[in-house]
Chains A and B, each alone.
Chain A
Amino acid sequence: GAVVSQHPSWVICKSGTSVKIECRSLDFQATTMFWYRQFPKQSLMLMATSNEGSKATYEQGVEKDKFLINHASLTLSTLTVTSAHPEDSSFYICSARDLLASTDTQYFGPGTRLTVL
């Protein structure tokens, strides 16, 4: 149980284009999902908290107009990197918290590696 999927697993795009990443909880419902970014040899940095049916909460320094988050259902959240630039190249990872769980454990997706040329 507690499986989270992400799609795509990797993507290469040209500078200036937009990229959408999907995060799905496969066997549980998640009112709360989280989006992280990880640069090489660094720890995970939380970008935003995605809440089903409401606006995402962004961490300080994260541009909400550049990283658009939509959490339209209890099993799907999407992150769109708009007008991507080479500095946005990173490993993007989502996590989800089980709605019915009594703990605040986060289960992670496999990640999406974005390369912007």
Chain B
Amino acid sequence: QKEVEQNSGPLSVPEGAIASLNCTYSDRGSQSFFWYRQYSGKSPELIMFIYSNGDKEDGRFTAQLNKASQYVSLLIRDSQPSDSATYLCAVNLGGGSNYKLTFGKGTLLTVNP
């Protein structure tokens, strides 16, 4: 069964710390990987996407992809209370041309002031 797994959390970090969010996926042929943030009662908003192995940085966020290990992570540096949300990992499993994304169940992050 094609799956996207995330550590369920909740994850609690102090303000200013690095938050590390992890995600594994089942299909080795997957090509596109996304991180979305969802505040309670709101819809997901895109943080970043990554297609190639290695790191991709955007401001305080760094996505890391390791296709051999079927693993993608998101690091949030200098965490702020406003980063408190559920973080969703999404994968186009198998790299299908239908552009469908499979979402993990999400990790709830709490940043304590």
Residues of A within 8 A of B90 (CB): 106
Smallest CB–CB gap between A77 and chain B, Å?
A: 14
Smallest CB–CB gap between B26 and chain A, Å?
A: 15
Interface size on A, residues (CB 8 A): 19
Do A32 and B99 have beta carbons less than 8 Å apart?
yes
CA distance A31 to B1 in the complex (A): 28
Q: Does A11 contact B (CB under 8 A)?
A: no
Do A103 and B32 have beta carbons less than 8 Å apart?
yes
Interface size on B, residues (CB 8 A): 22
- Given known contacts A44-B88, A46-B100, A97-B99, A107 and B46 CB-to-CB distance under 8 angstroms: yes
Q: Does B101 contact A (CB under 8 A)?
A: yes
Q: What mask results when residues 17 to 52 of chain B are scored 1 for a CB within 8 Å of chain A, else 0?
A: 000000000000000101010000011111001010
Minimum CB distance partner of B102 in chain A: A46
Do B105 and A43 have beta carbons less than 8 Å apart?
yes
Do B44 and A104 have beta carbons less than 8 Å apart?
no
Contact of A108 among B43, B49, B102 (CB under 8 A): B43
CA distance A63 to B104 in the complex (A): 23
CA distance A32 to B97 in the complex (A): 11
Q: Does B73 contact A (CB under 8 A)?
A: no
Which A residues from 17 to 71 make CB contacts under 8 A with B?
Answer: 32, 34, 42-44, 46, 49, 57
Minimum CB distance partner of B49 in chain A: A105
- Given known contacts A44-B88, A111-B43, A106 and B99 CB-to-CB distance under 8 angstroms: yes
Contact of B43 among A34, A46, A97, A110 (CB under 8 A): A110
Residues of A within 8 A of B103 (CB): 43-44
Minimum CB distance partner of A93 in chain B: B43
CA distance A43 to B90 in the complex (A): 11
Residues of A within 8 A of B46 (CB): 105-108
Do A111 and B105 have beta carbons less than 8 Å apart?
no
Give 7 new A-B contacts, CB below 8 A, not counting A106-B101, A107-B46.
Answer: A43-B88, A46-B101, A57-B98, A105-B46, A106-B99, A108-B45, A111-B42
